[in-house]
Structure 1
Amino acid sequence: MKKKLAAALAGSAALVLVLSGCGDDGEEKTAAWAKKVCDQVQPQVKKIQQANTAITQATQGDRASEEIKEIDTKAFQDISQAYGALADAVDEAGAPPVEDGAKLQKDAVAQLEGMSGKYADLRKQAGELDTGDQAKFADGLKDIADELGKLGKSGDRALDKLQEGELGAAMAEQEGCRKPSSPSASAA
């Protein structure tokens, strides 16, 4: 089960890095839009990475069920808030100045808000785990790991669209949309 949880976290870690692209950009409007979004991205990505690391570390070793529950609950809350902040950043930046920019923005915001809601649901699920019964607790963790696996495999199409073409190139030029270096990234 611990391996399944770690694998699920690896999938969700890939999603948080979806806002990093590659390439370069020369258009000022596109670069300005990317800067508005990317200035808000890196702190949220770090928050998600730290939460994923906490979840992974909680399942390793011999921690008490109550401690695992507490760590997971807080981590899922942090991830939910981070995705909400990412949705706000994309929403507040307005439509990107590219073809179908309004649709790209709307789709990305909806997907990020959806992820926020799903992690809020996981937080609730973790908070309701029965720590008095090890079998029920283990089953509850398995259910959470299964949900994490689904989240990690969920479609990232709207976010992928943001990193295509000139918009993706502009985002790649922004410091905030570059993959942050993290010694714990391999743990997630």
Structure 2
Amino acid sequence: MNKKLAAALSSGAVLVVALSGCSSNKDSGPDPKLVAWAKTVCDAVPAQDAKIRAANASIAKIATDGNLPPKTAKETYSQAFQDMADGYKALAAAIKSAGAPPGVDDGAKRQQDAAKNLSGLATSYAGLQKKVDGLDTKDQGKFAKGLHEVADETKEIGTQSNSGTEALKRLEQGDVKAAIAEQPSCKVAASAAASPAAG
């Protein structure tokens, strides 16, 4: 399999969950209601974050194997895209079910934007999985052409992923960030990040 293609498939895709475990400088601490809200969101993060990272790792691993049979490559991509779709869908559901962060200006809009972006990513990855599942592994030429199309779409998802990261960062501003900083589960996700946000 074409290494450049596999590299393209692995490069465009991950939204590193932006919820970070930075410490807060506030003496009084955030509103207890907001802390409870942050717990609801943060408790969903580590498992989904790990699932998304593992999916990316499996795609990256394919990039280093030039002799992988098309059938194996297809199965690996399909599973990875399904895991990403499931991970983002679960994160979106956690943010949706948490509701708007209490006592935060335009909190409802920020919460809805973040959930919408994550849902959009889930839908995009589900679409990629469907496309990969439809590829013909018996014809190497057709398979390679189909994978090129998937790789192009993956790059587009990279842009979508960036806007998802921005939406999560907007959600996490101010008092929300301080409340999230108190959550051990978000600290776990932040420390798992390859380049955790300095805080």
TM-score range, shorter chain: 0.7 to 0.9
Structure whose alpha-carbon radius of gyration is higher: 2
Q: Does 1:12 align with 2:17?
A: no
Alignment counterpart, residue 124 of structure 1, candidates 105, 115, 130 = 130
TM-score (norm 1): 0.87
> Which position in structure 1 is the counterpart of 2:173?
164
> Which position in structure 1 is the counterpart of 2:186?
177
Q: Deviations over 1:116-168 (max 9, x none)?
A: 10000000011011111212211221221221212122223322211222212
Please say if residues 48 and 78 of structure 1, whose CA atoms lie closer than 8 Å, have aligned partners that are also in contact: yes
Structure 1 position 5, deviation (Å): 4.4
After the TM superposition, which residues 93-112 of structure 1 pair with which residues of structure 2 at under 5 Å, given as runs? 93-97=98-102, 98-112=104-118
Please say if residues 10 and 63 of structure 2, whose CA atoms lie closer than 8 Å, have aligned partners that are also in contact: no
Quick one: distance in 2 between partners of 1:99 and 1:21?
Answer: 22
After the TM superposition, which residues 79-158 of structure 1 pair with which residues of structure 2 at under 5 Å, given as runs? 79-97=84-102, 98-154=104-160, 155-156=163-164, 157-158=166-167
> Which position in structure 2 is the counterpart of 1:22?
22
Aligned length: 183
Do the aligned partners of residues 77 and 170 (structure 1) sit closer, same or farther apart at CA in structure 2, a change above 3 Å counting? same
Q: Deviations over 1:7-60 (max 9, x none)?
A: 5534433x2322226342611222221111001001000000111111121232
Quick one: distance in 2 between partners of 1:6 and 1:16?
Answer: 18
Please say if residues 83 and 112 of structure 1, whose CA atoms lie closer than 8 Å, have aligned partners that are also in contact: yes
- Give the letter for the 2:185 counterpart: G
> Which position in structure 1 is the counterpart of 2:53?
49
Please say if residues 73 and 126 of structure 1, whose CA atoms lie closer than 8 Å, have aligned partners that are also in contact: yes
Do the aligned partners of residues 35 and 85 (structure 1) sit closer, same or farther apart at CA in structure 2, a change above 3 Å counting? same
Do the aligned partners of residues 180 and 79 (structure 1) sit closer, same or farther apart at CA in structure 2, a change above 3 Å counting? farther
Quick one: distance in 2 between partners of 1:136 and 1:81?
Answer: 28
- Give the letter for the 2:56 counterpart: N
Quick one: distance in 2 between partners of 1:171 and 1:7?
Answer: 34
Root-mean-square deviation (Å)? 2.2
Unpaired segments ≥5 residues, structure 2:
none
